[in-house]
Structure 1
Amino acid sequence: MKKAAILVAGGKGTRMGGPVSKQYLPIAGKPILMHTLEVFSKAEPEIELILVLPEMDFGLWQELVEKHHFSIAHHIVAGGNSRFQSVKNGLKAVSFNSGLVAIHDGVRPFVKESVIQDSFQEAARNGSAIAVVSLKDSIRKLTDNGKSFYQERQYFRLVQTPQTFQLEKIRKAFETTELPQFTDDATVYEHQGWQVSLIPGNPENIKITTPEDMDYAEFLASKK
């Protein structure tokens, strides 16, 4: 099967608090997005890589590519006004009509190659593969009247990316009207009445969002 990956980095990263969006900040001397592109290229050398960016950042990204002599082949696609629209634009840009596509947050550069490979294998078998990890902390459910109740954590999972799908099915899913409950690609897929398949993710696969995340990212990069 042909394989593609859509790396979504269409946001402005305002929670980082700096003048440059988080996806372009350096870890171990290279922009975050380059690390993410590299791990997908290593995991699946023949993969088609699509990078979704704000259109106004195309020039900045080209400058970074030249500065770092970045040679991994990828296509750039303009993001939309929401993550849903950005993913939809990325799906349209996939050059083939039958195969598999992984959708991944561009600011999750520490996903393991094995997780990417497992996601494609599971999606080929069952239509989808959503990377998740178990909870370590106790959790409580809050109610509208200010009370809280214990929940058994073994029944819950933290959702990561990649979220990998058979291309025809996820394209059909994204033909629907965008809804507030679409917090990720799995919820769009489920809206069609299809059950998602879960696979183990890796705990280091953090979504870099805050300055504290950058400190941890530098630590993870130093371990590699």
Structure 2
Amino acid sequence: MSRYAIIVGAGKGERMGSELPKQFLELKGLPVLMHTINRFHESAASDIILVLNVHFHSYWEKLCKEYNFNVPHLLVKGGVTRFDSVRKGLKEVTRKGTVAVHDAVRPLVSAGLILKCFEKAEELGNAVPAVPCRESLRKGGADSSQSLSRDDYFLVQTPQCFNSALLKRAYRQEFRNEFTDDASVVEKSGEPIHLVEGETSNIKITYPDDLKIAEALL
């Protein structure tokens, strides 16, 4: 059974406040995206599919030459939404197996977590890493709110792993605004989602401070 990794980085990264999308920013001597790909190359993935905005394909190829980055991967044109991008990546999954979908800007994911997600998905059909919410929660607005039990909530991460046939079937659905990740797409198709313990260090680089935190963790 094959193990695929679809790494999604087709966004523009506007919240970073940089003209350059965050997946291309340098982190400890390498672009963020190269760290991410290396994590999967060094772990359990046999095929790496990289989904990028088509306008940055030539820039990425230039970076690969500049940094002498030779990890094998297939470059795919991204879609308008993350949903579209994953769907395009799935077209390149040609053998039966397990698919991990991962955010390009989560460069600190460990090989251990990747392997754990693959193995659990091969056992149960899917595996989604999550960490317990550690902050107090309230629901509502400035004028009225109510306390929520943080014990009932988890922060979801990637890689989210799925049986390839199950994931392809789920992505035949029409897009909905509630599809914020792959687990929400698969859940809507009628499949229960299985959580595995994530890692607090598996941060998503979204804002400038996140890059500083990632540097410290590395």
Which residue number in structure 1 is paired with residue 25 of structure 2?
25
Within-5 A mapping of 1:1-224: 1-44=1-44, 47-96=46-95, 98-142=96-140, 146-221=143-218
Letter in 2 for 1:192: S
The offset of 1:153, in angstroms, is 0.9
The offset of 1:150, in angstroms, is 1.2
TM-score, normalising length: structure 1: 0.95
The offset of 1:148, in angstroms, is 1.2
The offset of 1:95, in angstroms, is 3.1
Find the aligned partners of 1:18 and 1:10 in 2 and give their Cα distance.
Answer: 15
- Which secondary structure does the structure 2 equivalent of 1:214 belong to? helix
Deviations along 1:192-214, one digit per CA (max 9) or x if unpaired, are 11101000110011110111111
Find the aligned partners of 1:211 and 1:194 in 2 and give their Cα distance.
Answer: 36
Find the aligned partners of 2:29 and 2:60 in 1 and give their Cα distance.
Answer: 15
Letter in 2 for 1:174: Y
- Which secondary structure does the structure 1 equivalent of 2:174 belong to? coil
Find the aligned partners of 2:156 and 2:88 in 1 and give their Cα distance.
Answer: 23
Find the aligned partners of 1:41 and 1:201 in 2 and give their Cα distance.
Answer: 20
Find the aligned partners of 1:134 and 1:82 in 2 and give their Cα distance.
Answer: 28
- Which secondary structure does the structure 2 equivalent of 1:150 belong to? strand
Deviations along 1:165-204, one digit per CA (max 9) or x if unpaired, are 0000000000010001001100000011110100011001
The offset of 1:105, in angstroms, is 0.2
TM-score, normalising length: structure 2: 0.97
Letter in 2 for 1:183: T
Runs of 4+ in structure 1 off by over 4 angstroms are: none
Find the aligned partners of 2:186 and 2:73 in 1 and give their Cα distance.
Answer: 25
Query: Which consecutive residues of structure 2, in runs of 5 or more, have no partner in the other structure?
Result: none
Find the aligned partners of 2:203 and 2:93 in 1 and give their Cα distance.
Answer: 26
Letter in 2 for 1:22: K
Deviations along 1:133-168, one digit per CA (max 9) or x if unpaired, are 01111111116x932111111111000001100000
Find the aligned partners of 2:152 and 2:14 in 1 and give their Cα distance.
Answer: 33
Calculate percent identity across the aligned residue pairs.
40
- Which secondary structure does the structure 2 equivalent of 1:182 belong to? coil
- Which secondary structure does the structure 2 equivalent of 1:93 belong to? coil
